[in-house]
A and B are shown apart, each in its own frame.
Chain A
Amino acid sequence: MRYLPKSPTDREAMLKAIGVKSIDDLFSPIPEKYRLDRDLAVPRQMAESEIVDWFKQRAKENGDGLTSFLGAGAYSHYRPVVIDALVQRGEFLTSYTPYQAEYAQGTLQAIFEFQTMVAELTGMDLANASMYDGSTGAAEAVMMAVRITGKHHAVIARTLHPEYREVIETYATHQGIPLTTIAYRDSGRIDLGALEAAVGEYTACVLIQSPNFFGTIEDVEAVAEIAHKRGALLIVSIAEAVSLGIVEPPRAADIVAMEAQSFGVPLGFGGPYCGVMATKEKFVRQMPGRLAGQTTDKNGKRGFVLTLATREQHIRREKATSNICTNQALVALMVNIFMTIYGKVGLRELAKQNLAKTAYAAAQFGRHANVLFSVAPRFNEFVVETTEEPHAINSRLLGHKIVGGLPLKKFYPELGNAALWCCTELTTRSMIDTAVGLVADSERSVDVKEAEPAEALR
């Protein structure tokens, strides 16, 4: 086995040194009847070339050379090659959680820079070293709000990513946190009247997403006012981090729970991604997850350590702020490098391109189909309502190597034949024009087809 660095002679010598006859003697603590006396039924040992072939075959089955208009919590942005060149350095890739600070300053300083940039971008005072992903980060934020306020009710926008909502439901079930979901209005934004009615003195937090699941930018300040008036915290979830380059961050929020996948993390069928949590300074001791802090060594030299560890499970056990143990260090490093590459000016220009492509696409689609929620500003997603069922449209688009927008019926039955489309800086004008053309064709043909039999039936 090529990963094992021992010759049979080494093994013999070691067994002899230990004072046992055979390797089986070392497994004698396992009662004999539970020792496996056969080979595991897993594929045979493969050569590296065979492994690569096998995975390349699987990649082909996933479809090749497609153009995609999917977003909905997972975004296709360009990943500068510098990211993979750096994160594959063994000293980052094969190191552990930096508990031994003297021997892990690289990871610790990188985390400190990550925390700084995330805090700056989200408009919060500080940020942690990362969470599993945007969905679990949002759930952790709700639990954090419950700890801070001592209240047990969470109000959640229906325009929060539907899978994030599902995760929050799972987490909240056994913690006695009742959830109230607030509908959206025709603008695509949260219904402020309904929100006002739902938030009570017993409410721990209001959780919205902005830009929300439809791509619509919420009026965060108006929501904050309603929440704060009743002593509830405002949590803002951000699924599309690139929006922060051009959209005002939710400074009125108390906690920001963000998915940072857009910042240089591969789509990779949904993971690993990088959740981020940022908050106000006064709430730091209730924040879950790791934190790197600046300090000095005995010579006064600047250095970094994991700090405020007493919040965590390995010390507090059942009284910990969360059971979270790992963070997404290596993915956070990708995010970190991406933020560093684009920086102060690049992030804004990048976001601007997303905005422009989306504005163009929405206008083009609008000529042939109904683009919903156009009153409020949006970032890089929009909802297109068609006459024909979007799955049927998407099947035809796929024939032209285009993956169309996400049909929304599964998550929002009331939206009928609507689909969520996304454009990023990687979406070209010709891709948009082709997709719009195909949708327009299908809309025209449906109009013709439906006109006749529908009349006949009446």
Chain B
Amino acid sequence: MPQLLGDRRLSDLQWHRRMDGAAAGNHRSRTNGKTLTDKYFMKHMTRKATRHISQNEGLIFEKSSPGKAAWKLPPLDVPEVDTSKLLGKQERKDLGTMPEVSEIEIIRHFTRLSTWNYAIDLGMFPLGSCTMKYNPRVNEFVSRVEGLANGHPYQPEKISQGALHILKTLSDCLIEITGMDAITLQPAAGAHGELTGLLMVRAYHHSKGHPRKKILIPDSAHGTNPATAAMVGYAVENLKSNESGMVDVAALAAQMNEDVAALMVTNPNTLGVFEHDIHEIAEIMHAKGGLLYMDGANMNALVGKARPGDFGVDVMHLNLHKTFSTPHGGGGPGSGPVAVKRILEPFLPKPVVVSKADGTLGFDYNRPQSVGRVRAFYGNFGMFVRALAYIFANGPDGLRQTTEDAVLNANYIRKGLEGTYDLPYSTRSMHEVVFSDKVQAKKGVRTMDIAKRLIDYGFHPYTTAFPLIVSGAMMIEPTESEPKEELDLFIEAMKSIAAEVEEDPQFVLDSPHNTRISRLDEVAAARKPVLRWKPEA
């Protein structure tokens, strides 16, 4: 059972009392005789970050008072209406606790909140499998061009040619990049793409007379894979990884039969390892009529260097918010196009973009074998604009160099930290590397603790406790966006933390020390959920 956060509140509390004293400058720390001030700026301390004033800010509701306003409507140019006459009992009289604040307060409120976040714009964000790369500003600029930002999804095709042209150009680029034959841009996110892909798998098998019963999923897979399979009505069968962290081809051959609809594989997988036998895997699937689904979460290791379509993949989704630089924005929006081989094309969600006889582009809704719609309208269009701008900014040479740099960076980190942290699989890394906390766990320090301490060093943590096949996983994906200097600082920070674990594990367990708040009581949050603000009674 994963034990991520132990109950350390009591010891933490005591520790903080001491810290308060130390901050006043007249106490000594509890261990090895150093003052706490020494601890903060100690020999291991980083060159990347220092402390800085952080503005306090309450909830917006706490600033509200009647009569303040940040809005102004133009004078009404039509007759006023009697709302109670028009709406009767359907009229709403009161908007309850909605805030009333001025514009400057709103600007300060959200600006202050923003400074409490870490971001790619501040530095390396090494979350494994998340591909936190630079989000180019020209993407933001072009997505806001009048005519793209304010186009209505139902405006006539005649005056939507620009938008259709963008859909078509991006589709063509992504088809070329993946080596597939056709694509839908409709899914709103990666998991939504998985759903779309598996719906197509199911429709394909159904068209052959038998939808089949289950999906094979390696034990290293992301949680969305099994969750998606369940949503499409498939049973999930786990596939064990071999000692190299790859799909066990012999086990796959043994488990594959006519009841299996597809294998969902991530390649490179969540260990950052390229599935060397991918083509053999595809052949095993195809021999029994199954399909090979590829989760494209890790496509940043492949763009311009290898194409899933060439190595046997039948259907895959991409994450525009990972590989193609659209912003994560604190958790979304994403975009999860699904690319397929010819055999799956009839099942694409509708509508699809087509070139018409008169040379214009249009939507084709007449798709009798389509799985249907997975989202209203055409998908997250604003993300298509951004992804296409990214492809334009790179070109074929830039895309290839990007992939090479991403792989170079991951391997540089691996080299830098090997020996300091345990490397559970020594198989060659592509764009990310997975270490484990095995060495540090002996001192009672786990991956989450090291991650929290990394915050004090001015870095965002890596991905913790995933993939599940590695106990205490530390999954690091630097992306191509990091200069050598930032990577060196990261390696230095990680080594420094490893040294701290040896000297004073409790200090690491109590981290972060430099954030505006310390570790939060997640247990209380889950036992008695407070999910909204309420005025004091």
Interface size class of B (residues with CB under 8 A): 35 or more
Bound together, the chains give a CA A61 to CA B166 distance in angstroms of 11
In the complex with contacts A112-B59, A245-B92, A271-B381, A14-B408 CB distance below 8 A: yes
Interchain Cβ contacts under 8 Å between A and B, 26 examples: A5-B481, A14-B409, A14-B484, A36-B307, A45-B398, A48-B138, A48-B393, A58-B163, A60-B162, A73-B376, A82-B103, A94-B119, A98-B117, A98-B331, A104-B116, A120-B97, A176-B233, A295-B525, A318-B227, A319-B230, A323-B228, A326-B321, A340-B70, A353-B76, A425-B73, A425-B74
Whether A271 lies near B377 (C-beta < 8 A) is yes
In the complex with contacts A328-B333, A331-B333, A297-B153 CB distance below 8 A: no
B342 to chain A, nearest CB (A): 18
Interface string of A12-26 (1 = CB under 8 A from B): 011101111001001
Bound together, the chains give a CA A61 to CA B167 distance in angstroms of 13
Whether A94 lies near B378 (C-beta < 8 A) is no
Whether A95 lies near B328 (C-beta < 8 A) is yes
A23 to chain B, nearest CB (A): 5
The reply on A414 being an interface residue by CB < 8 A is no
Residues of A within 8 A of B135 (CB): 93-94
Bound together, the chains give a CA A258 to CA B106 distance in angstroms of 24
Whether A51 lies near B69 (C-beta < 8 A) is no
Neighbour of B114 across the interface among A91, A134, A290, CB < 8 A: A91
In the complex with contacts A66-B159, A97-B331, A343-B98, A91-B223 CB distance below 8 A: no
The reply on B314 being an interface residue by CB < 8 A is no
The reply on B13 being an interface residue by CB < 8 A is yes
The reply on B520 being an interface residue by CB < 8 A is yes
Bound together, the chains give a CA A70 to CA B153 distance in angstroms of 9
Bound together, the chains give a CA A207 to CA B381 distance in angstroms of 28
Complex interface residues of chain A between 1 and 52 (CB less than 8 A to chain B)? 1-6, 10-11, 13-15, 17-20, 23, 26-31, 34-36, 39-46, 48, 50-52
Residues of B within 8 A of A330 (CB): 327, 329-333
Residues of A within 8 A of B330 (CB): 92, 95-98, 104, 107, 110, 329-330, 333
Bound together, the chains give a CA A319 to CA B229 distance in angstroms of 10
Bound together, the chains give a CA A45 to CA B327 distance in angstroms of 21
* Interface 9-residue window, one of B27-35, B125-133, B251-259: B125-133
The reply on B95 being an interface residue by CB < 8 A is yes
B12 to chain A, nearest CB (A): 4
Interface string of B377-415 (1 = CB under 8 A from A): 111111101000101111111111110110111011011
Whether A35 lies near B306 (C-beta < 8 A) is yes
Whether B520 lies near A161 (C-beta < 8 A) is no
In the complex with contacts A96-B460, A323-B231, A394-B156, A135-B117 CB distance below 8 A: no
Whether A297 lies near B177 (C-beta < 8 A) is no
Complex interface residues of chain A between 83 and 129 (CB less than 8 A to chain B)? 84-98, 100-107, 109-110, 112-113, 115-117, 119-121, 125-127, 129
Bound together, the chains give a CA A277 to CA B529 distance in angstroms of 17
Whether B393 lies near A343 (C-beta < 8 A) is no
Whether A89 lies near B114 (C-beta < 8 A) is yes
B75's closest neighbor in chain A, by CB?
Answer: A353
Instruction: With A66-B159, A324-B192 given, name 16 new contacts (CB 8 A).
Output: A17-B416, A55-B148, A92-B117, A93-B119, A102-B452, A102-B517, A104-B116, A105-B113, A170-B372, A269-B377, A313-B226, A313-B227, A318-B229, A323-B192, A328-B333, A403-B156
Bound together, the chains give a CA A70 to CA B189 distance in angstroms of 27
Whether A134 lies near B484 (C-beta < 8 A) is no
Bound together, the chains give a CA A248 to CA B93 distance in angstroms of 8
Bound together, the chains give a CA A296 to CA B376 distance in angstroms of 40
Residues of A within 8 A of B305 (CB): 27, 30, 35-36
Interface size class of A (residues with CB under 8 A): 35 or more
Neighbour of B393 across the interface among A51, A61, A106, A291, CB < 8 A: A51
Whether B154 lies near A58 (C-beta < 8 A) is no
Interface string of A242-276 (1 = CB under 8 A from B): 00111111000000000000000011111110000
Bound together, the chains give a CA A191 to CA B194 distance in angstroms of 37
The reply on A169 being an interface residue by CB < 8 A is yes
Whether B191 lies near A326 (C-beta < 8 A) is yes
Bound together, the chains give a CA A350 to CA B72 distance in angstroms of 9
Residues of B within 8 A of A63 (CB): 147, 155, 159
The reply on B42 being an interface residue by CB < 8 A is no
Bound together, the chains give a CA A94 to CA B399 distance in angstroms of 21
A75's closest neighbor in chain B, by CB?
Answer: B152
The reply on A434 being an interface residue by CB < 8 A is no
A222 to chain B, nearest CB (A): 11
Whether B152 lies near A347 (C-beta < 8 A) is no
Whether B99 lies near A343 (C-beta < 8 A) is yes
B520 to chain A, nearest CB (A): 5
* Interface 9-residue window, one of A180-188, A225-233, A303-311, A440-448: A303-311
Whether A36 lies near B333 (C-beta < 8 A) is no
Bound together, the chains give a CA A28 to CA B375 distance in angstroms of 40
B112's closest neighbor in chain A, by CB?
Answer: A106
Whether B393 lies near A3 (C-beta < 8 A) is yes
Whether A341 lies near B333 (C-beta < 8 A) is no
Whether B111 lies near A86 (C-beta < 8 A) is yes
In the complex with contacts A34-B310, A42-B391, A14-B117 CB distance below 8 A: no
Bound together, the chains give a CA A359 to CA B81 distance in angstroms of 8
Interface string of A340-351 (1 = CB under 8 A from B): 111111111110
